[in-house]
Amino acid sequence: MVETRRDASPKPAKENPLPLIGTPAFKAEAHTRYAELRAAGPIHRVRRADGFRGWLVVGYELGREALAHPLLGKDPAPFAERLKSVGQHILLAGTGLGGNMLMSDPPEHTRLRRLVAGAFTPARAEDFAPRIRAIADKLLDSIAPLGKSDLVETYTGPLPMAVIAELLGIPAECRDDVRNWTRTAIGNPSDAQRTSLLSLNTFLRELLEEKRRHPGPDLLSELIHVHEGEDRLSDTELLGTAVILMAAGHETTVNLLGNAVVALLEHPKQAGLLRKHPELLPGAVEEFLRYDPPLENTPTRFAGEEVVLGGEVIPRGGVVTIALTSAGRDAPMGAGERPEELDVTRSQVKHLAFGHGIHHCLGAPLARMEGAVALGALLERLPDLTWDAPEEPLPWIREGITRGPLSLKVRYTPQPSLSESSKGA
């Protein structure tokens, strides 16, 4: 105990430092760190690794409220000068980040979503399922005979790139560059991040110009000609939409698959259930999205005016982020169910991995289908999949809003390729 003299002037209490989130150390222990924050309340003032000071929502119910709150906007343009004053330089419309639904608010968001929504239907995802399985089998053919592999390099990484590249009509010889640009572009703000985003922007602009001259049976060609009455996507809006499709349609699915594989390797009985009952896979994908979603945090939201959220007063221009990784472990459950446990038989799974409200992910049907098909193929083709080096710590993405493993070294009994199997039949 520290004693003070009665006549001593009172000293101001030391302010507790704001929690620092988004660092490599934090992300490596994300579930533990978020559990500590949830225990103290559903929303916290925090420091972010990218330099922002703002509010982080860690509770499910408050996260759901924040995602749909009409005063928490996505468009950074009104706050560009304030962001610049704290070292954050945003890339606006015309640079491949603006002009899309993710970075806009009503009424512009309503208009953009209406124009492109027809291209993202459950029926379209269903139609593409056989092609996803063919891509999965081709990748598995190359690794099944080997007995060991790093699945991030050979399966969970290349499969989503192949799927989105075919959908958008990206030439095969460009896909490695596009994958590298996309991965860096969604990291923390930096010179490398801005350079990658602009490189992706330049590539897609040129690709759109080529498809305008020579349209093909792909989604970009379709979006060029989409219209509602006289309304069409402008060149800037088309470019922004293409960039966000590439980023959201690729990297998030890489991490959906990677996180799901980690969960199954850590819970082999759950993997066994899915091998025995593949009809559980669609529901299991919802459980994976809840248990460890591919986006750790949402992109930034800005308070259009003073907002009270979970008892916290957020001033106009205040920055709010929703921790989706945390919200999943706080989701409502049935009696006796525990959110920290993985259960692929769980019914009526609730999660916020695809957002909520007007910004709910348009690509959700494709992501769900891709997850179910790709995981089903992996479990079927490699029936005794396990860790190759279980003593090694698993490396996680070190920055940005995504969450997923950087490496998945596994081993299994070597299996013949499908072509070899058919020869022996």
- Above 50 in pLDDT, residue 1? no
- Residue 94 is predicted with a pLDDT of 55
Q: What is the CA radius of gyration of the chain?
A: 23
Location of structure tokens 């002037």: 9
- Above 90 in pLDDT, residue 79? no
pLDDT band with cut points at 50, 70 and 90 for residue 187: confident
- Residue 34 is predicted with a pLDDT of 97
Location of structure tokens 């759109």: 208
Beta-carbon contacts of residue 282 (< 8 Å; ≥ 6 apart): 368, 372
For the chain, the residue count is 425
Residue type, 91: L
Q: Which two tokens stand for residue 7?
A: 């006549």
Helix, strand, or coil (residue 250): helix
pTM: 0.91
Least confident among 73-87, 119-133, 162-176, 217-231 = 73-87
Least confident among 47-51, 56-60, 131-135, 187-191 = 187-191
- 414 vs 335 pLDDT, higher one: 414
- Above 80 in pLDDT, residue 51? no
Location of structure tokens 């969960």: 263
- Residue 7 is predicted with a pLDDT of 38
- Residue 89 is predicted with a pLDDT of 60
Q: Which two tokens stand for residue 252?
A: 């998030």
- Above 80 in pLDDT, residue 205? yes
Q: Which two tokens stand for residue 394?
A: 């698993």
Find the angle CA(393)-CA(397)-CA(399) to the nearest 5 degrees: 130
Burial pattern 122-138, b for ≥16 Cβ within 10 A else e, equals: eeebeebeeebeebbbe
Is residue 289 within 8 Å of residue 328, measured between CB atoms? yes
Is residue 90 within 8 Å of residue 302, measured between CB atoms? no
